[in-house]
Amino acid sequence: MLSMPFLTAASLLLPARSSAQILRDPGVYGPPLEVVHLYNDQWPTGIAISRSGRKFSNYPPGLDANNTNDGTNGKYTVAELVGNDTERAYPSVEINNPPGGSVNYSTYPATGANYQDYLIGVQSVVLDPLDRLWILDTGRALTPNSTLVPASYGGPKLICVDLSTDAVVQTIVFPPTVAYADSYLNDVRFDLRAHLTESGQGVAYITDSSTEGRNGIVVVDLGSGESWRHLDGAREVRPDRGFVASVWGAPTYYIPGPGQPLTYLPFGADGIALGADGADLYWTSVGSRTLYSLATERLLDCSLHGELLAQSEIRNRGEKGVSDGLETDSNGFVYAGNMEQNAISFFNPGNASATLFVRDQRINWVDTMATGADGYLYFTVNQLSFSAAFYPGTDRRVRPFVLFRAKLPGNGTRTRLQ
């Protein structure tokens, strides 16, 4: 039996502490956040920052019916940010306005429009190491009642824009065996090193985050335009079963379409980042807290055993919180949103650990990050989980949506794989 501890003279002399002294979570950590841009018009996801500081965003009609171009409403799916609160359609008003709109209502059910020369539903804008802007089109859009239409051939594509002329210089259309009608090509990273392919023009890696389920990684030869899939349906590119993320303390449940029952978060492989030396590709599902990687050598291999080798060599790099986009810097760190903690963390491959980077009450859904050549991490915070697609089904988003930046640690800057 334990005896009662003796009260010492010293403990009797300690002053009583008041309730105001209860230790509390400061809620803020890391370098100060700077507000770069306020989005007061359409709802954004992606961000790209050129070497000269030009800024581009995209506005997916596949996640917000209010972004869908109906042929008359002048909505844009890609814009350049001008000033700190204005956006203008990019690379042109015309390419953002497919004749008749982004949805083809002459089919039943309705489908994504099949134009190769117009933007239908853009989910990412990303710069390559040569500072060319690549636009990733899912070819999909929501109808006014928030039904996500399947893509048609011509819709899912990668479009390259030369920033010095603002002209489209290359278009790579994905065949329906690579981008399925119910694929959702989400995010993309580029490695332009010549030795990677016979064509010598480098490659792109793309996540397929489809909420309908056939998730995977798409690889594109930028010279030949050929593309192929890897890891189709593998557990590591799928959302975890029963996954519930919390944002600002509230658990999130998803509404897949009008009148449909709630589901767990159904988003598969979404965030993607290339390690600084190009040896590893990192990705994460939104419906998971785990960071995975695979040697890029395995993704480039489409030989007889290429898929078996790829699946057998996936690496689990540990938990980093719930993230949408990922990004890398010249330190080799892999930045990941950590939306359950109002934060961004980074994974350091050197110690296999996640580290808190910034934390702030203004952070909720960290959508997309981009490393600037100016040594800052730029990121959009867009309240995605407060939209009508999440329980209770009302739109609780409040404008403005925000582009922030924070100084990278260790003088980090953009990587260059060329």
Task: Evaluate whether 139 touches 155 at the Cβ level (below 8 Å).
Answer: yes
Q: Does 84 bind ligand NAG (CB under 6 A)?
A: yes
Q: Residues 148-167: x/- map of binding to ligand NAG (CB under 6 A)?
A: ----x---------------
Q: Residues 16-55: x/- map of binding to ligand NAG (CB under 6 A)?
A: -------------------x--x--xx-------------
Helix (H) or strand (E) holding 306: helix 306-312
Rounded to 10 degrees, what is the CA torsion of 120, 121, 123, 128?
0
Q: Does 345 bind ligand NAG (CB under 6 A)?
A: no
C-beta closer to ligand NAG: residue 246 or 353: 353
3 state DSSP class of 310:
helix
C-beta closer to ligand NAG: residue 147 or 201: 147
Structure tokens at 145: 């009642």
C-beta closer to ligand NAG: residue 90 or 228: 90
For residue 8, give every residue at least 6 positions away whose Cβ sits within 8 Å of its Cβ, in sequence order, or none. none
Contacts with ligand NAG: how many residues (CB under 6 A)?
A: 28
C-beta closer to ligand NAG: residue 89 or 192: 89
Q: Does 348 bind ligand NAG (CB under 6 A)?
A: yes
Q: Which residue among 351, 361, 392, 398 contacts ligand NAG (CB under 6 A)?
A: 351
Task: Evaluate whether 243 touches 322 at the Cβ level (below 8 Å).
Answer: no
Task: Dihedral sign for Cα 335, 148, 403, 386, please.
Answer: negative
Q: Which residue among 246, 355, 394, 418 contacts ligand NAG (CB under 6 A)?
A: 355
Q: Does 201 bind ligand NAG (CB under 6 A)?
A: no
Task: Evaluate whether 150 touches 176 at the Cβ level (below 8 Å).
Answer: no
CA distance linking residue 403 with residue 400, whole number of Å: 10
Q: Does 316 bind ligand NAG (CB under 6 A)?
A: no
3 state DSSP class of 298:
helix
Please identify which residue in the block is written with the tokens 């963390």. Answer: 345
Q: How far is the CB of 388 from ligand NAG (least distance, A)?
A: 8
Helix (H) or strand (E) holding 47: strand 47-49
Task: Report how far apart, in Å, the C-alpha atoms of 23 and of each of 14, 17, 174 are.
Answer: 18, 11, 55
C-beta closer to ligand NAG: residue 63 or 220: 63
Q: How far is the CB of 276 from ligand NAG (least distance, A)?
A: 14
Structure tokens at 25: 């979570």
Q: Does 258 bind ligand NAG (CB under 6 A)?
A: yes
For residue 249, give every residue at least 6 positions away whose Cβ sits within 8 Å of its Cβ, in sequence order, or none. none
Residues in region 91-150 near ligand NAG by CB under 6 A: 100, 104, 106-107, 109-110, 113-115, 143, 145, 147
Which residues here bind ligand NAG, judged by CB under 6 A? 35, 38, 41-42, 66, 84, 100, 104, 106-107, 109-110, 113-115, 143, 145, 147, 152, 258-259, 348, 351, 353, 355, 395, 410-411
